[in-house]
Amino acid sequence: MIARSIAGALAGLLLFVSGAWGALALRYQLPGPPGLKLAGAVAWGAVYLGLIVAFIGWRSWWAPMCGVALLGLLIAWWTTIQPRNDRTWAGDVAQQLSGEVHGSHVTLHNVRDFTWRSDDDYDARWETRDYDLDHLVSADAVLSYWSSEAIAHAMLSFGFDDGRHIVFSMEIRREKGEAFSEVGGFFKQFELVLIAAEERDIIRVRTNVRGEDDYLFPLRMPRDAMRSLFLSYVDAANRLVHEPKFYNTITSNCTTIVYRMARRIDSGLPMDIRLLLTGYLPGYLRDNGALDTRYSVDEWRRLGRVTDRARASKPGDDFPAVIRQGVPPAVLPGESSSSGDSTLKPLASSADR
C-alpha cells in the first residue's frame, strides 16, 4: 500500500507539472494570434485536469499513461522550435556583433552608440571600432537594478589607457513590438544577442530613460585574464552569428553566460545562487577575489553607485570619467595599495533584460 501510495503521488505530480508546463509552452509558442495561443493553453489545461480527476477520483490508471503520451507529442513538437537570426527585430537589437582578431588588435563590427531620448525615440548608430588589447587596463562589472534587490542585469565594461570603454551585455533579442517576460524566458520566447556598446549608450539608457539604478564595481583581475575574457566575448559574438541560441531565465542569462566564459580561464570558479540572483553578485565577486577587501560590499555599493552622476551628465561630457568620480580603481594582482590589503587572492577569471 505504501508503494502504491508513493507511485500514485508521483503520477499525480507528473500529471500536474506536465500539464502546467504544456499549457505555458502552448501559451508562448503555439503558432497564431494571442487568442489562439490562449485557447490552446486552456484546452491543454482542461484535458490534463480531466486526467487528474480520472486518476485521483476514479483510480483510472490509464490517465497517467494518456498524460505521458500527450506530453511526448508535445515534447516532440517542442524540439522542432529552433532559434533564428532572421526575425523582425527591435531597433536596439537589430544588428549582431561580430569581431576579427589579429594578434592584439581586435575589430568589432556593429558596436552600438545610440543617443536616447526615450525607449522609442533615439538616434541609431552602429559602428566599427578597433581596439588594441595591449592597452587594455581595466574591467568593471556594471549592475543595473530594475526590479528588486535580488534582480539586476549584469554587464562588463573594459577600459583602455586612452580613456575609451566598451561594454559587453548579453541580452534578450526582442522582436519588434515585443516586451520582456520572465516567464516567457523559460519558453523559447527570446533569442540571445550580445551587445557591445559605448557606456554613454548602454548605461545612460538604463539610468536616464528606463529609470534603473546602476552600480559599477572595479574588478581585481590580472591583465592577461582581462584580455582572455575580452576575447571570449568576441568568440561568443561570432558563435551567435552562426549558431543562434535561445535566452533562458535560469540557464542562459546575462550572468550565467559570463560565468561560463570566465570558467574557460579559471575552472575553479564555484557555482553559486548569486549567479542567478544577480542583485547579490557583488558579494560573490568579493568572496572570490574580484573585489578587494579594502571595502565591504555595502561600501562598494555606496561608492560605485553611478545613477545620479549619469543622470546629471550632459551631452559632450566624458561620460566614463563622469560616472567614475569617487569610484576607487581596482588594485590589480601584483600591485599595492596605500589603503590597505596587499594580500588579496588574485582572481584569474571572474567576470536580459
* pLDDT on residue 347: 37
* Residue 254 Cα distances to 52, 70, 306, 328, angstroms: 38, 34, 20, 25
Tell the burial category of 215 from Cβ atoms under 10 Å away from its Cβ (0-12, 13-18, 19+). Answer: buried
Residue with the three cell numbers 564555484: 270
Q: Between 1 and 33, name the one with better pLDDT.
A: 33
Rg (CA), the chain: 24
Is the pLDDT assigned to residue 191 strictly greater than 80? yes
**Can you spell out the DSSP letters for 123-186?**
E--EEEEEEEGGGEEEEEEEEEESSSTT-EEEEEEEEETTS-EEEEEEEEEPBTT----TTGGG
- pLDDT category, 290, cuts 50, 70, 90? confident
Is the pLDDT assigned to residue 350 strictly greater than 60? no
222-274 residue pLDDT tens: 899 999 999 999 999 999 999 999 999 888 888 888 888 777 767 788 888 88
* pLDDT on residue 182: 84
Least confident of 108-112, 213-217, 338-342: 338-342
Is the pLDDT assigned to residue 338 strictly greater than 60? no
Is the pLDDT assigned to residue 349 strictly greater than 50? no
**182/166 Cα distance (integer angstroms):** 27
All three cell numbers of 45 = 489545461
All three cell numbers of 279 = 542583485
Q: Are 259 and 275 in contact (CB under 8 A)?
A: yes
Q: Between 353 and 120, name the one with better pLDDT.
A: 120
Least confident of 56-70, 118-132, 167-181: 56-70
Is the pLDDT assigned to residue 340 strictly greater than 60? no
Q: Are 129 and 100 in contact (CB under 8 A)?
A: no
Calculate what percentage of the chain has a pLDDT beyond 90.
64
37-71 residue pLDDT tens: 999 999 998 988 888 788 777 767 777 788 788 88
**49/64 Cα distance (integer angstroms):** 12
* Residue 196 Cα distances to 31, 119, 174, 274, 340, angstroms: 32, 18, 16, 24, 34
* pLDDT on residue 157: 97
Mean pLDDT for the stretch of residues 157-167: 97
SS3 content of the chain, % helix, strand, coil (to 5): 45, 20, 35
Task: Report the predicted TM-score, pTM, of the whole model to 2 decimal places.
Answer: 0.87
Residue with the three cell numbers 487528474: 52
State the Cα torsion 339-341-342-345 to the nearest 10°: -150
Q: Are 206 and 232 in contact (CB under 8 A)?
A: no
Three-state DSSP class for residue 9: helix
